[in-house]
Amino acid sequence: MNDFLNTSIEFIKGVGPKRAELLQTELGIFTLWDMVNHFPFRHEDRTTILPISSVQNTEHSIQLRGKIERITKEGTGRGKRLKAYLNDGTGKLELVWFKGIDWMEKKLNTTDQFLIHGKPQAFKGSFNIVHPEVVVWDDASNHTQMRIKPIYSLTEMLKKRGLDNKILSQVTYSIVNDSRFSVQEFLPASILKENGLINLSNAYKHIHSPKSGDDIDHAIHRIKFNELFNLQYKILSRKTEVKMKVKGVVLAQIGTYFNSFYTNHLAFDLTNAQKRVLKEIRGDVKRGIQMNRLVQGDVGSGKTIVAWFAMLMAIDNGFQACLMAPTEILAQQHYESLLEYGEMLNLNITLLTGSTKSKAKKEVLEQLSSGKLNAIIGTHALIEDPVKFQNLGMCIIDEQHRFGVAQRAKLWTQYNPAPHVLVMTATPIPRTLAMTVYGDLDVSAIDEMPPGRLPVRTVHKYKSQFTEVALFAEQQVKAGKQVYIVYPLIHESDKLDYQDLMSAYDNIIRYFPLPEYQISLVHGKLKAADKEAEMKRFKEGKTQIMMATTVIEVGVNVPNANVMIIENSERFGLSQLHQLRGRVGRSAAQAYCIMLSGSKLSNTAKQRIRAMESTTDGFEIAALDMKLRGPGEIDGTKQSGIMDLNLSDIVKDEELLYITRKVVSDLLENDPNLELSGHRGLKEHFQKIMRGKVWRRIS
Ligand code: ADP
Ligand code: MG
């Protein structure tokens, strides 16, 4: 960086020590370089002057020029105001001030031409402007007024201390128009050309001091390109590095366990999507490089069996496997299915959770380290200290959003060569996030449902229609089916949520009286063992109705349940609604999801409900969810700390995200260490952005 840009902001005209200190504490601006990296969030076009005759209703400020006539003061006390009329020959427009009256009165006169800036509003059949900006035209005619003005974000403190947009824009203007101003270009000319990018100096110049709308567009495009390009570099270079440095267990062969299970014990044909994902996993694990793969598949797409085959790949090669689930209920459920599979093959499989008794736990740990156990299913108990495998080859992590980044790494970092990591998620990740937050994982998609599944019929009903809904549920129960009724957590406090659930229960048993009907109740206040017992009763068909707070949100598999009633559905997020719906529709029977709500619905609640009614496609839902909530709210985004974006937005700039990803991956493929002479600028640039930034990843 050149000396000029390294200069302290204090020394630029109009700043000085006091303002410099403010800029430092409020905006983290120390140098001129920092200053020009504080980008405006919009621009105001002050290059055009409108004739008064063509003033209309508008959202924006306008600019007028004319002579002032008839300056009058009216009213008294609080109602006191200054009025003046601007006349430009095409018409007249009233200007009004309620504050700073004396000062303004002195400034105005009826001889000069004035340049007026402000937002017109309709007033008594014509227009007026309240508190316009006013400058004498002789001053205004110099370039600082008549230009496209950048608008910067300011803090309250800055405004209070008089450091306003006018001063900031003067400061940036004088920096970027200084003859010493230049920014070192880091992109090779070929990339600039292929992507129609302007050079960096011009981008900075034009975003702070544009001469036209085109200037602004080009500058913003270039700066967004930089941001997304840097982001992709951080992600992809890390991925390349892991591939080059982290040695993985070699799972060379597909052996007898895999083959025997596939040919003799599999009760159904795998879908093509399941087969494809298994092939991708197979391709990863034989290379001696650690696999870091994310398998996303909508609820019910059949991820468990894929995980099982991946575990068999390890076991066939003499390694152990583990599967970690986020809750006891889920771990238990996986354990039950995998135990059954394991018994068919005479494998030793066990369960380890927080509620495993210490004596049993000791035994499990011994069997793990001696290698007697082939596989273990568990909760985060698996990553607690004393757990030591003899030779771990495959880690499966189910429903990854519940695990933190560091937690997951604990599973495997102690082993060398590293075991493979397969993360399974039912939350479809929009492509944009797959390329960013999860961008260093390879992604597989099980994008096909097992055959014979009918889409869940989804409807919205008002609470007042509950009787109708209950009658429908009763019909289904009479036909041998089971029903979920889910309540949102409203109160942060288990106790109050419990009370809500209990009063709802009182209502439900009026429709489904004992002993004819049995109801399971699951909520946050229950102990894990009791929850499990309730889940079990439901699973075994001993109860027909499962009333629950969100505990069943993730993963439970009761194929006979075909009705999902969601109470207060307006309180759930879209992804959550979709997850809940995924609990039903797990068999060939038609399933139903009924979303109940109060009569008052916010706009976004309406959009969520409409989306649920119109599609069962998890990817569509996830993309819409991200639009409604903004990417920052999506799980994993905040923790990852990589979304250091200023002007760009991974949803709105999706196309540019693809482009930059492609540019970076081509670069890394051809010249992974950026050693070509034409890439020297790039290398320095990346060293700079990677320096001092702790950037570690997920699993
Ligand atoms: P999820 O992806 O939500 O974890 P599961 O693995 O629990 O889904 O599978 C849902 C149900 O579908 C299970 O009962 C499972 O046995 C069944 N299943 C999985 N794959 C197939 C398939 N290819 N054909 C038929 N049923 C399948
Ligand atoms: Mg599952």
Which ligand does the CA of 450 lie closest to?
A: 1
CB 183 within 8 A of CB 5: yes
| Domain range 1-47+155-180, CATH architecture | Orthogonal Bundle (1.10)
The pLDDT of residue 404 is above 70: no
Q: Would you place residue 643 in the very low, low, confident or very high pLDDT band (cuts 50, 70, 90)?
A: low
Higher per-residue pLDDT: 399 or 150: 150
Mean pLDDT, to the nearest integer, of 343-356? 95
3 state SS of 515: coil
pLDDT at residue number 144: 58
Cβ atoms of 128 and 190 closer than 8 Å: no
pLDDT for the residue numbered 8: 93
pLDDT(237) > 80: yes
Q: Is the pLDDT of residue 348 over 90?
A: yes
C-alpha 371 – ligand 1 centre gap (Å): 30
Task: Indicate the average pLDDT of the chain.
Answer: 87
33 and 161 Cβ atoms separated by less than 8 Å? no
Q: What is the mean pLDDT of residues 311-316?
A: 98
The 10s digit of each residue's pLDDT in 161-171 is 888 888 999 99
pLDDT tens across 131-157, in order?
998 888 876 565 556 778 899 988 888
Return the ligand number nearest the Cα of 557: 1
Q: Average pLDDT of 309-330? A: 93
Q: Which two tokens stand for residue 508?
A: 């439900």
Q: Please state the rounded mean pLDDT for residues 378-392.
A: 89
Is residue 505 a contact partner of residue 521, using CB atoms and an 8 Å limit? yes
Which pTM was predicted? 0.67
Domain 457-615 annotated CATH 3.40.50.300? yes
Give the pLDDT confidence of 497-543 residue by residue, as tens digits.
788 888 899 999 999 998 899 999 988 788 878 888 888 899 899 99
The rounded radius of gyration (Å) of the Cα atoms in the chain is 32
Comparing CA positions, the residue from 519, 562, 550, 624 lying closest to residue 326 is 550
Write down the pLDDT at residue 694.
38
Position 636 scores a pLDDT of 44
Domain ranges across the chain: 1-47+155-180, 48-146, 256-446, 457-615
- Tens of pLDDT, residues 70-124: 889 888 888 889 999 999 999 999 999 998 888 888 888 888 889 998 999 988 8
Binning pLDDT at 50, 70 and 90, where does residue 422 land?
A: very high
Residue 555 pLDDT: 59
pLDDT band at 182 (very low <50, low <70, confident <90, very high): very high
Do 256-446 and 457-615 come out as alike in CATH topology? yes
**From CA 499, how far away is CA 485, in angstroms rounded?**
16
pLDDT at 695: 37
Q: How confident is the model at residue 691 (pLDDT cuts 50, 70, 90)?
A: low
Distance (Å, whole) CA 493 – CA 490 = 8
Residue 551's pLDDT band, with cuts at 50, 70 and 90, is low
Query: Mean pLDDT throughout 315-321?
Result: 97
Question: Rounded distance, CA 284 to CA 295, Å?
Answer: 13
Tokens (6 digits) for 624:
């819409």
Looking at domain 48-146, its CATH superfamily turns out to be Nucleic acid-binding proteins (2.40.50.140)
- Residue 588 Cβ < 6 Å to ligand 1: no
Q: Are strands 81-87 and 92-97 parallel, antiparallel or unpaired?
A: antiparallel
Is there a contact between 394 and 419 (Cβ–Cβ < 8 Å)? yes
The Cα–Cα gap between 236 and 686 comes to 12
Total Cβ atoms within 10 A of residue 99: 10
Mutate to test the pocket of ligand 1, among 268, 277, 449, 579 (most ligand atoms within 8 A of CB): 268
Residue 478 burial (CB count, 10 A): 11
Residue 257: pLDDT over 60:
yes
Q: Which residues surround ligand 2, an ion (CB under 5 A)?
A: 555
Q: Which amino acid is at 505?
A: Y
Residue 331 to residue 536: CA distance in whole angstroms: 13
Which residue's C-alpha comes closest to atom 19 of ligand 1? 302
Q: Class for domain 256-446, per CATH?
A: alpha beta
C-beta of 304 in contact with ligand 1 (< 6 A): yes
634, pLDDT greater than 90: no
